[in-house]
Structure 1
């Protein structure tokens, strides 16, 4: 069967499923278009919670089909981002666990209290944590990336965009899929098993499982045995003989994962559908900082270990916990081996009723995750007291309910009305050994080698109401206007149960002092859109959009005598602006060509900053930022060449800070490089900043980021790809795919540090597939990042490096980049029945 005919058949099935479960049940133009053969077939999306084609919906949306997900084994969000221009995901060993960035707007990684500016929606439910990237997104129905503010339809915290994931449902026939793969670089074995079957005329079930195990890591580890000395004392006046502990190399980033998802779909009548999904997953990795690469150092080598050269290569270094520390610190592996263990489960229920002219929907979700990590906080194999070893235990619970009603009267006016409720709880515990500190007289035995421990919690509650009026003055024009009202509360506390007496005397930590935070936020986020279809295959639209991301509390901060509640609390982030677009199908639907232009302003951008020289964290609202850009995309599928599809994008995005007075300086930034302001605690959430005064100030500590680019914001990105399927002999089809992505240079840091610049690069993915005509058998070879380009997807200053910040002669800190994966090649065999 040709690719074009198969796409047409898949579209019919997908459209039918969406019409049965979507919140809108009116006539959908996609039904008529799906009957076409050849050329470009439409892709149905639910970007506005109703079934529409990508060409009709007045939203900047990238739809990734289930077919492409399989062709490239896009089984997690990092792999999706690696193929999507203007979308960046950077994995971090600590803090929030990841940064998700669209069009240069995202939340950095160092605070677990920051929710993402790019919301992840799974089967209609909101997942806002960075560690969501550890989930196993496989056996999918579709994946949609919505760019720009998306407040009205997707719950909360979508100031930069939304990644909407829909997992596969049971079909109307028995389906058995078995898939096995092997990736050579990581020596990773992957297996999937899917069983889907109707139980009766009204009931269907689907069970999907995926597991993998790595024989080695993606990154070469160059760490060596190091000595970590500890001194058993409680004051600097004491003179004691240090005890030397051996710290072996941490090893590579090998890991294993297991995911299972069960789905039950019940359709007792043509007017009612109930779908319940439950999933469980575990994800473990031996070295969570393996991808943290020292890629820039002022001397060319690590400040902590001159034997470690800095460079843009797929290698890093770290050490195990010394045995004595591993035996005492909570949640440390007995062997001292570093690691990260993520576990999650969730239950999701979607109910849909179709009345005469009214669609009702309900999405109920409960999700839970627990993350435990143990890592070398230096991210470099080094000896001496500056070494940092840390463990963390955190859990997150979220319950949510969304109700929505949508009318479909024959008249020109219809409406959507809904409500949303969410209740969350985050618990956070952390323990850090550093500075060669030891205290045999500590109150608890597990505190002996600790410099500090943390205990924090945040309970959140969200209540929202939203509505939209839809006006169709003619068959060609649609006017919509809507608003979401949100009320949120977040109640938090932070406590350091233990701090070493020396660190207390030095004024670094303030133990046994609890700070409490009770925050409340209210927001109205309106939007309006006008769309016009002069002919069937052309859509023009303009939209005004706003969005809001709640403020909060930095659970992973540090409390010192000079810090207070204002250093932990941060205000909401907001967005507003315009976009216009032209979506076309040309030349007898052989060419899809779309152009979208946008301009959005972000205020109170939420940023967290790690001060490497003082080993402290600061969470702030960094003034404003603006993104302006133009995005072009095309797809060409000539009817004269059955099975050929050529596609590409070209994007210009300028993301720059506006007035951002009071942003932290990067480590080693001197006054002549812009670190020329001084923080003033005026009792407000972020304080203020004044010009540096040499008569009264020892050093400056703030800057104005105005005009600097935001993090992970290349001005130019592009992609070009081809997919071709053709019969090669009786009963067999050959498939070829290749997709290249170009990125211009950008800064990997949010604070204007020129030494974090990532140079321009091109990455290439490709796959080769041989399948039987009945699609029962397929053998594939999948290559990703075949150009083997190293690039940073985020980063931070290396701990205990850099100095002289805000003076006339600073030393730049070593730079750690969260690196992309190297070249990988995977063979994969699939059997379907």
Structure 2
């Protein structure tokens, strides 16, 4: 293995200039006109595929129940969830769950994790340009975005398969049957790395009869044209098919560019000659996204006992800038330290530049025209077998998924002559997993569930950067203007077994207890196979940092559930969770780097939660109340030293979260079609003990008065974690009523409130996000048979500026005695789209 790695490093030293023609982002960029034509041609073609099945016999039944079962047309219907890996009513399951039905997803066009988060007040998502690609935070617990090696504490599950990488934020989720957000530790049923919670998404399966849908939409802010088609139905009496395809082409963007032309000067280390390089301002609104998503599902049911489902899906996403939402949100002097012409503030404007014209196309993965970009490609195949005996159900899920993310970035994020960091990256990740579980359903008081899980992963990470204003005319052409090129790989393997016993003690009283055992290994290395000679005093060339890690964990849990009536559930639970340690593949090797700087320990959680779920007033009112307290040990936090561009992954000693959650839904029978709903949540997330790095420019008087790994440190004990508002809530309604013989009118509005919070993991005072209230709304006209629909959908109508995470801005503070400026990951501004749908 190590020999292969040395070969890989050596090969990277000899990158031919032809790489630029083969592997640059421009090669795969499709012009807007061609992309749009391709998208809608593909949509039209796909819509014809299932037509041959129109006269076939009845299709097999869908294995998974709909997220929301129809009631009698009024009152509250049952919501079916799979929070415990089996189908149960939401009101029966002893877990804190927020469930979104297919209808709710369609109402607000929730086709990405970011869009889903707008309907879940305690979940915040910050899209990042590099590192893991995202910061998902739930109840004040999340994972830093700056390290690609840190998997998310909020696990993402798609069709029963774990996707732990933050890059999953680039996935598009189309044709969903339901979404469940499980809050708090979820180790037993979902296994890997679900210390803060789980977002479980379920795609739709083939329908019993032929069903077709075509949809077109246009979003006005970003000038985004969207098309979607779906065809579903039986191919025979035992085989069903479902095909869904979505394409979009953005002619504008959400963020304006306010950059100005800048000059990047390089000094030839051999001759001392200084050469200016013009870096033109980035033009056009960002992100300018182009996307194609597709999924094909086959479901085979030869008998009532056996169901085999095969799902294959792919995502292709291109945009014009990987850091299109990076805004200098707050600066010590009100203007950016490296460019006083740029005012910092909460506005949807970025300040970035193209690669210098004469450097364009020279760096590996850079475009020949110097343009910025992000390119994401993913593929996945999931096969599921369900076999039902009289009292035993067997389920076997196998999955292979792969993604490749590549970008070119102006990674100083401002138009400054004082610094420039044209950087590029290519990261590849693939995983194979297999899970086999068995569950009994005896009439007796005791039943069991048992399973085994296996996963094999590989991450391959390459990054380059122009750094330090240096050049070397004796280096290969691809390296001449580079400050560094770094390589990192991690091979991971996980095997896990779990089991749960359920015992009905007496009528209405049930006890469950279970445990999951996990053994995981990770074999990693990090090296800079090229560093400009003038910078090797800081970043040594060929110094290899290796880590062979092995982790073992037992995560038990127990729950007591009492149902005095069918409409009341009372529960209490003790839960634990575990997220394995890892390796910060996107870190740097400096002269003082040791394995413990980039290899970090596991994250663990344990605690209690209790709740009551009620359905009242003859199923017109649903009220649920929950309380919780959890202790997190060794929370994984990544630190970016903005002065040295060094990354250090740390483990916070301890974090305590406590909270209360109330949710309600009211659907009066006296007003058919009306629904009122809302939540109120209180959460307190605080470090209990954490000697942490100081934020950039922090003074002794401000708390930088201790030592962290031989440098300045601060004691964050009692300080809030990142993105941890004390109060969050939501309130909304929906109403649909006939307005003509064959025409229904629908109106909905949903608000989301968040109290203020610090977006920094290190209590940086400039990172404060003010409290905000957002409003989403939709207006619809549809025919009574649901064949035709016209909708107007608005999101964040209050146009609130929301920061989901921050980093200390590169190369700041620029003046002694000032704190580092803050670069924020900003959510979308107000958007309004019109959407037309036909079903037949």
| Shorter-normalised TM range | over 0.9
Other-structure match for 2:22: none
| Distance in 2 between residues matched to 1:680 and 1:389, nearest whole Å | 30
Distance 1:744 1:99, change over 3 A: same
Residues 1:66 and 2:66 aligned together: no
Other-structure match for 2:545: 515
| Distance in 2 between residues matched to 1:268 and 1:40, nearest whole Å | 35
Other-structure match for 1:317: 351
- Pairs within 5 Å for 1:467-486: 467-486=499-518
Q: Deviations over 1:607-639 (max 9, x none)?
A: 101111222111111111011000000000000
Q: Deviations over 1:150-203 (max 9, x none)?
A: 001113100000000000000100011000000000000000010101111111
| Distance in 1 between residues matched to 2:276 and 2:701, nearest whole Å | 44
Q: How far did residue 22 of structure 1 move?
A: 6.0
Residues 1:620 and 2:650 aligned together: yes
Other-structure match for 1:247: 280
Residue in structure 1 matching 2:803, options 776, 779, 792: 792
Residue in structure 2 matching 1:54, options 73, 81, 90: 90
Q: How far did residue 327 of structure 1 move?
A: 2.1
Aligned-partner SS, 2:714:
strand
Residues 1:678 and 2:707 aligned together: yes
| Distance in 2 between residues matched to 1:736 and 1:35, nearest whole Å | 20
Deviates more, 1:702-711 or 1:340-349: 702-711
Distance 1:294 1:17, change over 3 A: farther
Residue in structure 2 matching 1:667, options 685, 689, 696: 696
Distance 1:798 1:351, change over 3 A: same
Q: How far did residue 513 of structure 1 move?
A: 1.5
Aligned-partner SS, 1:210:
strand
Residues 1:488 and 2:520 aligned together: yes
Q: Deviations over 1:702-754 (max 9, x none)?
A: 11110111111100001000000000011000010100001000011111111
Other-structure match for 1:4: none
Other-structure match for 2:758: 747
Residues 1:395 and 2:428 aligned together: yes
Q: How far did residue 364 of structure 1 move?
A: 0.5
Other-structure match for 1:133: 169
Q: How far did residue 414 of structure 1 move?
A: 0.5
- Pairs within 5 Å for 1:227-626: 227-234=263-270, 239-249=272-282, 251=284, 252-384=286-418, 386-442=419-475, 444-504=476-536, 507-626=537-656
Aligned-partner SS, 2:543:
coil
Other-structure match for 2:817: 810
Deviates more, 1:244-253 or 1:588-597: 244-253
Other-structure match for 1:768: 779
Residues 1:729 and 2:771 aligned together: no
Aligned-partner SS, 2:701:
helix
Kindly indicate whether the alpha-carbon contact (under 8 Å) linking 1:96 and 1:109 is maintained by their aligned counterparts in 2.
yes
Other-structure match for 2:728: 717
Q: Deviations over 1:41-94 (max 9, x none)?
A: 110000001111110000000000110111100010001112211101100011
Residue in structure 2 matching 1:653, options 671, 674, 683: 683
Aligned-partner SS, 1:115:
coil
Other-structure match for 1:13: none
Aligned-partner SS, 1:321:
coil
Kindly indicate whether the alpha-carbon contact (under 8 Å) linking 1:250 and 1:338 is maintained by their aligned counterparts in 2.
no
Q: How far did residue 331 of structure 1 move?
A: 0.4
Residues 1:821 and 2:821 aligned together: no
Q: Deviations over 1:299-321 (max 9, x none)?
A: 11111211111110111110000
Kindly indicate whether the alpha-carbon contact (under 8 Å) linking 2:337 and 2:814 is maintained by their aligned counterparts in 1.
no
Aligned-partner SS, 1:218:
strand
Aligned-partner SS, 2:253:
coil
Q: Deviations over 1:580-615 (max 9, x none)?
A: 000001111111000000000100000101111222
Q: TM-score, normalising length from structure 1?
A: 0.92
Q: How far did residue 281 of structure 1 move?
A: 1.1
Q: How far did residue 35 of structure 1 move?
A: 6.1
Distance 1:35 1:761, change over 3 A: closer
| Distance in 2 between residues matched to 1:17 and 1:594, nearest whole Å | 37
Residues 1:188 and 2:224 aligned together: yes
Q: How far did residue 369 of structure 1 move?
A: 0.1
| Distance in 1 between residues matched to 2:357 and 2:732, nearest whole Å | 51
Aligned-partner SS, 1:582:
strand
Distance 1:231 1:769, change over 3 A: same
Q: How far did residue 434 of structure 1 move?
A: 1.9
Other-structure match for 1:154: 190
Kindly indicate whether the alpha-carbon contact (under 8 Å) linking 2:174 and 2:293 is maintained by their aligned counterparts in 1.
no
Kindly indicate whether the alpha-carbon contact (under 8 Å) linking 1:22 and 1:352 is maintained by their aligned counterparts in 2.
no
| Distance in 2 between residues matched to 1:34 and 1:481, nearest whole Å | 33
Q: TM-score, normalising length from structure 2?
A: 0.91
| Distance in 2 between residues matched to 1:657 and 1:448, nearest whole Å | 45
Other-structure match for 2:662: 632
Q: How far did residue 123 of structure 1 move?
A: 0.3
Kindly indicate whether the alpha-carbon contact (under 8 Å) linking 2:101 and 2:179 is maintained by their aligned counterparts in 1.
yes
Aligned-partner SS, 1:67:
helix
Aligned-partner SS, 2:167:
helix
Kindly indicate whether the alpha-carbon contact (under 8 Å) linking 1:292 and 1:816 is maintained by their aligned counterparts in 2.
yes
Kindly indicate whether the alpha-carbon contact (under 8 Å) linking 1:249 and 1:381 is maintained by their aligned counterparts in 2.
no
Aligned-partner SS, 1:325:
coil
Residues 1:780 and 2:822 aligned together: no
Other-structure match for 1:123: 159
Other-structure match for 2:31: none
Kindly indicate whether the alpha-carbon contact (under 8 Å) linking 2:60 and 2:301 is maintained by their aligned counterparts in 1.
no
Distance 1:645 1:350, change over 3 A: same
Kindly indicate whether the alpha-carbon contact (under 8 Å) linking 1:18 and 1:51 is maintained by their aligned counterparts in 2.
no
Deviates more, 1:303-312 or 1:339-348: 303-312
| Distance in 2 between residues matched to 1:399 and 1:677, nearest whole Å | 44
| Distance in 2 between residues matched to 1:241 and 1:97, nearest whole Å | 35
Aligned-partner SS, 2:549:
strand
| Distance in 1 between residues matched to 2:384 and 2:630, nearest whole Å | 33
Other-structure match for 2:139: 103
| Count of residue pairs brought into register by the alignment | 782
| Distance in 1 between residues matched to 2:230 and 2:732, nearest whole Å | 29
Q: How far did residue 562 of structure 1 move?
A: 1.2
Kindly indicate whether the alpha-carbon contact (under 8 Å) linking 2:60 and 2:234 is maintained by their aligned counterparts in 1.
no
Other-structure match for 1:6: none
RMSD, aligned CA: 1.7
